[in-house]
Structure 1
Amino acid sequence: MGQDVHERGIEREYGRRRTFSGPWWQLAPNVFIGGLLILQATANPYVSTRHRYEAALLGVVLVRIVLALLYRRRGRTIVGAQGITAREALRTAHRTWHDVYDIRAELNPNGRFENAEWTTYAYGSDGRRMRLPYFDDWQLPDFHAELADLRAVSALHRGTAWELRPEVEDRIRRRARDRKTGGMVGIAAVFALLAAFVFLA
């Protein structure tokens, strides 16, 4: 492994290699709902206050479709001597090797809805994580070996071996709890908005 690491080097790019990292039926409902809303808005001769809600919902659906298409086109994980870059649909994040605390494979929480069972994150010393697009076991047939190779070669550029630090692990766990709490609050807010639309319409 060590000889292969030195021969391959650090420069590499991970992009979409297989057709789709999630089943097509994830996008199909958005297209179907958007089509129905457009049809109803253009075919219905009666104007009502419900059109505002329909227009808002249509806007959300269209934004989701555009973001999914942009992610398929732009999504990349780029590794170089200076660090690691995650390029998503609209945002590009970069961490230098000095700022990278760890690179970890984690079970994909959306595994039931996506082909990828494992996905990869780069963690910083502040506990923040950065998802690495298309660095997963759906796009990479030998995913765990590729991750081990990346960790080995990047350790040479970091100047230190990968080691766990209790204070950073505490930050990571704290941020994970915050994400979970924020997700639950977000879901509750969505249900509250839907209920408001149903009862106030």
Structure 2
Amino acid sequence: MSGIERVYGRRRTFSVPWWQLALNVFIGGILILQATANPYVSSRRWYTVALLVVVLVRIVLDLLYRRRGRTIVGAQGITAREALRTAERTWHDVYDIRAELNPNGRFENAEWTTYAYRSDGRGTRLPYFDDWQLPDFHTELADLRAASALHRGTVWELRPEVEDRIRRRARDRKVWSVVCIAAVFVLFAAFVFLA
């Protein structure tokens, strides 16, 4: 592509997360059947309804992401549009655009995903800018970085203090994800043993 104006959206239709959507629909169907047809569930209906709401919200968010998700690049900056939120960054706010190995690679087809980082170390994932959607991903990323350097006014350079912030935020995200997963397992065990 020539110039800076680009839109990255879904190009390939089939990907592994569709099986996750089908699994969510299946679980939702079982929960609806449990809530409506099983006479023994009436005392525990509240958590069946709560689980059903969680599954339905997940399905709606997946469908919205597939419909709205885009990475829009222009002369003013870069925009990452997801299911519900839109993150806009001007070129002066963008510290770096880099490809990283996908931590969900075993559940998604994309091996590499792209993030736009700010100087405070916060990263924003760029939807559909990955090696599953773009056949020549690394060349496209290099071309985008070269074209956007003209609009930034500076070349892409790494600063040690910002790299430390990025590493610290990545470590904190991993700790929080482990804590959240442990909390879900504890809540699930409490439901199983106390119900």
TM-score, normalised with respect to structure 1:
0.94
- Structure 2 CA distance, aligned partners of 1:169 and 1:78? 25
Is residue 180 of structure 1 aligned with residue 174 of structure 2? yes
1:155 counterpart residue number: 149
Greater CA drift, 49-58 or 137-146: 49-58
Instruction: Give the secondary structure class of the aligned counterpart of 2:39.
Output: coil
Does structure 1 retain, via aligned residues, the 8 Å contact 2:34–2:41?
no
Q: 1:62 aligns with which of 56, 77, 80?
A: 56
- Structure 1 CA distance, aligned partners of 2:16 and 2:71? 18
One-letter code aligned to 2:133: Q
Is residue 10 of structure 1 aligned with residue 4 of structure 2? yes
Q: 2:79 aligns with which of 77, 85, 96?
A: 85
Identity %: 86
Deviation of 1:173 (Å): 0.6
2:93 counterpart residue number: 99
Q: CA RMSD in A?
A: 1.1
- Structure 2 CA distance, aligned partners of 1:153 and 1:121? 17
Is residue 124 of structure 1 aligned with residue 115 of structure 2? no
One-letter code aligned to 1:116: A
Deviations 1:153-175, CA, capped at 9 Å, x for gaps: 00000000000000100100110
Does structure 1 retain, via aligned residues, the 8 Å contact 2:69–2:128?
yes
Deviations 1:77-129, CA, capped at 9 Å, x for gaps: 00011100000000000111001000000000000010111000000000000
Q: 1:73 aligns with which of 67, 76, 95?
A: 67
Deviations 1:48-96, CA, capped at 9 Å, x for gaps: 3311111111111000000000000000000011100000000000111
Does structure 1 retain, via aligned residues, the 8 Å contact 2:100–2:115?
yes
Higher relative contact order (CA 8 A, sep 6+): 1
Is residue 190 of structure 1 aligned with residue 190 of structure 2? no
Instruction: Give the secondary structure class of the aligned counterpart of 2:109.
Output: coil
Instruction: Give the secondary structure class of the aligned counterpart of 1:134.
Output: strand
Relative to 1, partners in 2 of residues 1:11 and 1:174: Cα closer, same or farther, differing over 3 Å?
same
One-letter code aligned to 1:135: F
Instruction: Give the secondary structure class of the aligned counterpart of 2:80.
Output: strand
Instruction: Give the secondary structure class of the aligned counterpart of 1:127.
Output: coil
- Structure 1 CA distance, aligned partners of 2:104 and 2:126? 15
Is residue 146 of structure 1 aligned with residue 140 of structure 2? yes
1:110 counterpart residue number: 104
One-letter code aligned to 2:87: A
Is residue 36 of structure 1 aligned with residue 30 of structure 2? yes
Deviations 1:12-66, CA, capped at 9 Å, x for gaps: 1000011034343222221111001111212123453311111111111000000
